Amino acid sequence: MDGGGREELDMEVMKPLIDEQNSDGISDEEHENNFLPAEKHYQLGNEEGITFIQTLTHLLKGNIGTGLLGLPLAIKNAGIVIGPISLVFIGVISVHCMHILVRCSHCLCQRMKKSSLGYSDTVSYAMEVGPLTALQKRASWGRYIVDFFLVITQLGFCSVYVVFLAENVKQVHEGFLVNKTAPINVSATSSSSEKRSTDLRIYMLCFLPFMILLVFIRDLKSLSLLSLLANLSMAVSLVIIYQYIVRDIVDPRKLPPVVGWKKYPLFFGTAIFAFEGIGVVLPLENRMKDTTRFPLALNIGMGIVMTLYISLATLGYLRFGDEIKGSITLNLPQDIWLYQSVKILYSFGIFVTYSIQYYVPAEILIPAVTSKVEQKWKLLCELVTRALLVCSTCAVAVLIPRLDLVISFVGAVSSSTLALILPPLVEILTFYKENLSLWTIFKDVFIAVIGVVGFLTGTYVTVEEIIYPASTVLANATESISADLNATNLVVGLK
């Protein structure tokens, strides 16, 4: 299949909620007529399907983004020893929860005689067949809960992208100004210093009209070429980042093996943000030709992702130590065009990806708004709603202009719910009649408790850091003093 075809499939994978909603209109009788064993049920209506390699590719695309670049700072918040170990632990649990979700979906498809189920429908039917009458009566709440957190997650990703774009473009711009004005006199140096102090929020607002225009493209297939270029640019950027960080690594003994517990929730939020790819698992299996090979594809794909995460996170922290920033791209040199181009390339990839992540919440929320207006106003109403949603993601970025905190907050609030809390609870509800072993119940409760504790502590610590950024203020002050000293030394040297 050519590149454009792959991108069309990628666009389709980004619509799990829309597919679930569309499937609700099919009657149970039609589902009964198409009822097949669990190992075949996802092949219905999708004779061609996607291959093993395509499934693997989509798994990688769905899990690699800005979260990867923020993991070195996450290691700093945990420690050079406990950080990588915790990453492996969270990764294994996340993949296990993906397998749980797939297995529960298979079982519920057989019981409910459905051709396929998405994440929200799986949770809803699990509540319906569960042992508690209170949950059975409120089974529809399961669908709303999952949809709510999926929308929050996707819009959260978009807010992270706004901060990422602003920080990287700001640094590229500042690097350009420094290189341009370095050989100039004292007054020029002073003017350059003033320009470099441009507030990060100004850059966010500059991106706002372009992002609004981008999301006005309602058919994602129109972006297939741009999406392909974005994927290539991000892949090239990662190769360049790796070749830079492996050249000068600090002695691990100079770094703290374990950091205090107050910073660990920030690590948890960032890590679970990075591993939160559970939303694309069922849509991918829905479209796979040979669904019996999906567990293998999932294990291989997530194995590659875990290797990439742990290696970049550990090497990044070893390379930059306590100077590591919210995105490792911000630690790359500002005076070398190759590393400046990395920030530009990755920013281009993230800019295009913004529209793809935006698609799911837009397609859920916009119909609910446009259904209440007359036909002649529907297009205008849709465009206004799209613009307002973009403004909301930008507003969150403006209110929390720190990449690490936005990532940690989104991870703690929504990613922990979708990736760790719901899947084990769904397994207990789905299989309680089949004499679940005490080990399985203990394991599921343990995973859910980890998710809940991560949710509460991660949210608390992140919000506290947002409201009382004492450490940030101190760091910024130190950085400002350092910048002033460097400017002074430059001036003296020029004299």
Q: What's the pLDDT tens digit per position in 114-123?
A: 888 889 899 9
Which one has a higher pLDDT value, 96 or 180? Answer: 96
pLDDT of residue 311: 94
Q: Work out the pLDDT band at 355, boundaries 50, 70, 90.
A: confident
Q: Work out the pLDDT band at 489, boundaries 50, 70, 90.
A: very low
pLDDT of residue 14: 53
CA dihedral sign of residues 460, 462, 463, 469: positive
Cβ atoms 256, 318 nearer than 8 A: no
Q: Spell out the residues 6+ positions from residue 178 whose beta carbon is closer than 8 angstroms to its own.
A: 192, 196, 334, 335
pLDDT of residue 218: 79
Q: What is the mean pLDDT of the chain?
A: 81
Residue 56 tokens read as 């693997």
Please state, for a pLDDT cut of 90, what percent of the chain lies above it.
44
pLDDT reading at 470 higher than 70: no
For 442-456, what is each residue's pLDDT tens digit?
A: 999 999 999 999 999
pLDDT reading at 88 higher than 80: yes
Please state, for a pLDDT cut of 70, what percent of the chain lies above it.
81
pTM here is 0.79
